Amino acid sequence: MKLEELLKDLDEDLIAKEYKRIENEIYITCEKNSNSSTCPYCNELSSSIHSKYTRTIVDLPIQNNEVKLLLIVRKFFCTNPNCNHKTFGERFDFVFPKAVRTKRLDDYINKMGLRDNSMDTVRNLKDIGINVSSNTVLRIVKKN
Ligand SMILES: [Zn+2]
């Protein structure tokens, strides 16, 4: 299976730009292959890019290697004169705006956290390449 296909599960338009493995960590630089985005405040489509920045987001591991997405996020100008936001960062369905883990990783941690106590969960997750603290496990389980 190609790396691209794994990314497509997250977002149809996501493309891998670079891939790097350092010890037990896999870094995937990726970005959306589209030149426009919808303003989350007024729903107007914009193709006017203001800037780019990178978010590091942990995803499900691959063969016990921790996977870190280096997600290139574009900031757009909102061109709607009636909108009260001048710029907005593009949104992704697979991760909440300020989250550091993908939704599917949190779902998995939640599932494991419901089975065992948090210390065992941390140990079991670590074995397969997910490094989280027991506080994080408890926070995720409480939220779901
Ligand atoms: Zn807007």
User: Is a pLDDT exceeding 90 seen at residue 3?
Assistant: no
Identify which of 50, 134, 122, 52 has the alpha carbon closest to the alpha carbon of residue 86: 50
For residue range 27-70, list pLDDT tens digits in order: 999 999 988 999 999 999 999 999 999 999 999 999 999 999 99
Distance 67 CA to ligand 1 centre (A): 33
* 75 CA to centre of ligand 1 in angstroms: 12
Ligand 1 center to 46 CA (angstroms): 9
The pTM of the full predicted model, rounded to 2 decimals, is 0.90
Ligand 1 centre and the CA of 38: distance in Å? 8
pLDDT in tens, 88-136: 999 999 999 899 999 999 999 999 999 999 999 999 999 999 999 999 9
What is the whole-number distance in angstroms between the Cα of residue 39 and the centre of ligand 1? 5
Q: 36 C-alpha vs ligand 1 centroid, how far in Å?
A: 13
pLDDT value of position 1: 59
With 90 as the cut, is the pLDDT of residue 5 above it?
A: no
Domain layout of the chain by residue ranges: 1-96, 101-144
Q: Ligand 1 centroid vs 40 CA: distance in angstroms?
A: 7
pLDDT for 95 equals 97
Task: Please calculate the CA angle 94-97-103 and round it to the nearest 5 degrees.
Answer: 30
Distance in angstroms (rounded) separating the CA atoms of residues 129 and 126:
5
User: How far apart (Å, rounded) are the C-alpha atoms in residues 113 and 57?
Assistant: 20
